[in-house]
Amino acid sequence: MKSYYLHLRAFSCDQCQGAVVTGSTAVRESDIQRETEITQVGAICLSCGHRQNEATDPGKTRDFPPVLWDPPKEPLTGHAASAYLEMLNRENRH
Ligand SMILES: [Zn+2]
């Protein structure tokens, strides 16, 4: 059975030391398979609004346990969305 997961992680903001939160969603076809269809969501600092995609000090990144999430009702559709997903897939192959 397909499961949808939400992943959250947080790290320190370069500009104000506040909490930058970033998330991704992933699909797991079954319990024994790896997650697929991972979609990254933009990161933003909760304190100052600075958009910082990567932690400057990865050692301080905090990962929260993934939680089961209902699949979105309106997935990305149209040409722009498929081009975006293609780009992500290409990046994941490295
Ligand atoms: Zn900040």
**pLDDT tens per residue across span 32-80:** 778 787 777 789 999 999 999 888 887 889 999 999 988 777 655 555 6
Q: Please state, in angstroms and rounded to a whole number, the distance separating the CA atoms of residues 52 and 43.
A: 6
Average pLDDT rounded to a whole number, residues 5-19: 93
Please give the pLDDT value at position 2.
Answer: 83
- Measured in Å, residue 49 CA sits from the centre of ligand 1 at 6
- Measured in Å, residue 55 CA sits from the centre of ligand 1 at 12
Residue 77 token pair: 């559709």
- Measured in Å, residue 20 CA sits from the centre of ligand 1 at 7
Please give the pLDDT value at position 73.
Answer: 74
Range of the domain at 35: 3-92
- Measured in Å, residue 48 CA sits from the centre of ligand 1 at 4
